[in-house]
């Protein structure tokens, strides 16, 4: 559930209030120029706030709601200590940049895979799809959409249980961001109709994809409108990764990623069909240690249709939750969450929060798919709606 939007002038008000310890916010910096009487965007641009991020807590709510385009200068100091153990008899103490990742870290679940173990990290939004980002000692950060700012530590829950200390974080708001209603909206643009997705277009697109034998499978539950480059960019920005198309590629990439000390997410997915051809893209989003059995994943096909001159992509998104018997051959296959609308909205949240979605809506076909079975025999159910995401037109943006 996304957090509700508080007053757009929250930061200006916070400058003259000493917040309670439960908020995690220390005494705010205040000067005569930063008083509450200076409301509006100009006051936000002068704000300086300070926080203590406790090593023992997963995420700290700053109580600061950012607008789209709001720019912060974040700096951090302080030390965190992990106590002595068998591998580290003297314990470990480190600053906001964290510690260099080692091979032992490959099996742990850290929110940011390319940041140091124990480093300072941030997140915009409270929902499970919110993508964490590295902060370290310092960062200039621009909010891609409106949302609540959180800080945390790039560590496992086991680390947090024994960690001591904190990072002291200072935020300077150097640009107040946009003031339009769309910039204040939490998690991306508000829903608006997409008239070009007509009943005629909906009637031409199959409700389901199929396996190589033609057995009907997962539901087509997302449309994305944009170029291939725009499609790849939005998924990458949202933390989704391209999935390998063969087992041979999977093994090679696993070896290379291990040497590069990266978490490996790109296990291959099976080939399925829409418009009588295999998927053009496969993407996955998962916690590294659980990727073998549980991941958010989808397949995308380029449709034959253009919407206002841009390509319509058809996506079947499901959430793997474990393994089950494949009823076609008695083999083992991934089991999907039967409430597939949750995965549709996971795609909605993760992509919309990148700031690269210009418009979004839900549409209901004349023949909505409410319940069915996958090609492997697993059941699923839906409200029948299809999510439509219109990506920002990079060609138009570059021309301006």
Per DSSP, the three-state class of 41 is helix
Percent helix, strand and coil across the chain, each to the nearest 5:
20, 35, 45
| Residue 98 or residue 260, greater confidence | 98
From residue 351, how far is each of 20, 106, 190, 309 by CA, in Å?
Answer: 34, 26, 14, 22
Same-domain pairing of 40 and 178: yes
Distance CA 117, CA 101 (A): 6
As a whole number of angstroms, the longest Cα–Cα distance in the chain is 74
Residue at which a domain ends, from 155, 184, 213: 184
What is the number of residues in the chain? 400
Cβ(135)–Cβ(122) under 8 Å? yes
Going by pLDDT thresholds of 50, 70 and 90, the confidence category of residue 40 is very low
Question: Pairing mode, if any, of strands 216-219 and 208-210?
Answer: antiparallel
> What's the number of CA atoms in the CB half-sphere (13 Å) around residue 136?
12
| Token output for 158 | 């086991």
Same-domain pairing of 239 and 384: yes
Q: What pLDDT, on a 0 to 100 scale, did the predictor assign at position 248?
A: 45
Q: What percent of the chain has pLDDT over 90?
A: 55
Does some domain include residue 190? Answer: no
Q: How many domains does the chain have?
A: 2
Question: Could you tell me the CATH number of the domain that includes residue 114?
Answer: 2.60.120.430
| Token output for 52 | 């203590």
Domain that holds residue 290: 199-399
Cβ(386)–Cβ(314) under 8 Å? no
Q: Give residue for tokens 């539950």.
A: 221
State in Å, rounded, how far the first CA of the chain is from the last one.
36
pLDDT for 304 beyond 80: yes
- pLDDT single digits (tens) 97-123: 999 887 666 556 688 888 999 999 999
Q: What pLDDT, on a 0 to 100 scale, did the predictor assign at position 338?
A: 87
| Residue 380 or residue 137, greater confidence | 137
Same-domain pairing of 174 and 287: no
Cβ(347)–Cβ(387) under 8 Å? yes
Same-domain pairing of 263 and 395: yes
The whole-number average pLDDT for the span 243-251 is: 54
The torsion defined by the Cα of 268, 234, 144 and 220, in degrees rounded to 10, comes to: -80
Same-domain pairing of 228 and 160: no
Q: Give residue for tokens 């006051």.
A: 43
Same-domain pairing of 219 and 281: yes
Same-domain pairing of 204 and 119: no
Cβ(146)–Cβ(184) under 8 Å? yes
Residue at which a domain ends, from 184, 214, 229: 184
């Amino acid at each position: 559930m996304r957090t509700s939007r508080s007053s757009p002038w929250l930061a200006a008000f916070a400058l003259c209030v000493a917040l309670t310890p439960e908020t995690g916010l220390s005494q705010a910096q205040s000067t005569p120029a930063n008083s509450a009487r200076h409301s509006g965007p100009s006051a936000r641009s002068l704000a300086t706030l300070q926080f203590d991020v406790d090593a023992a807590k997963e995420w700290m709510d700053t109580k600061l709601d950012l607008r789209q385009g709001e720019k912060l200068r974040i700096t951090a100091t302080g030390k965190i200590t992990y106590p002595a153990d068998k591998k580290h008899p003297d314990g470990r103490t480190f600053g906001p940049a964290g510690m260099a990742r080692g091979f032992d870290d490959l099996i742990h679940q850290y929110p940011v895979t390319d940041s140091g173990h124990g480093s300072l990290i941030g997140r915009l939004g409270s929902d499970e799809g919110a993508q964490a980002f590295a902060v370290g000692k310092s960062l200039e950060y621009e909010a891609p959409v409106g949302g609540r700012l959180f800080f945390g530590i790039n560590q496992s829950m086991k680390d947090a249980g024994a960690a001591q200390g904190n990072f002291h974080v200072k935020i300077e708001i150097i640009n107040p961001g946009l003031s339009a209603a769309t910039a204040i909206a939490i998690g991306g643009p508000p829903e608006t109709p997409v008239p070009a997705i007509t009943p005629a277009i909906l009637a031409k697109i199959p409700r389901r994809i199929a396996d190589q034998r033609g057995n009907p499978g997962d539901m087509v539950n997302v449309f994305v409108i944009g170029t291939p480059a725009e499609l790849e960019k939005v998924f990458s920005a949202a933390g989704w990764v391209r999935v390998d198309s063969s087992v041979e590629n999977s093994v090679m990439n696993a070896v290379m990623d291990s040497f590069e000390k990266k978490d490996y997410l790109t296990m291959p997915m099976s080939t399925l069909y829409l418009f009588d051809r295999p998927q053009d893209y496969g993407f996955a989003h998962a916690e590294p240690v659980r990727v073998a059995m549980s991941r958010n994943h989808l397949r995308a096909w380029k449709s034959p249709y253009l919407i206002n001159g841009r390509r319509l992509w058809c996506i079947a998104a499901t959430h793997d939750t474990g393994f089950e018997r494949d009823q076609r051959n008695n083999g083992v296959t991934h089991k999907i969450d039967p409430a597939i609308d949750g995965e549709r909205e996971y795609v909605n949240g993760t992509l919309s929060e990148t700031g690269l979605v210009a418009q979004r809506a839900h549409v209901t076909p004349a023949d909505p798919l409410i319940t069915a079975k996958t090609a492997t025999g697993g059941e699923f159910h839906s409200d029948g709606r299809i999510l439509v995401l219109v990506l920002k037109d990079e060609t138009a943006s570059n021309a301006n």
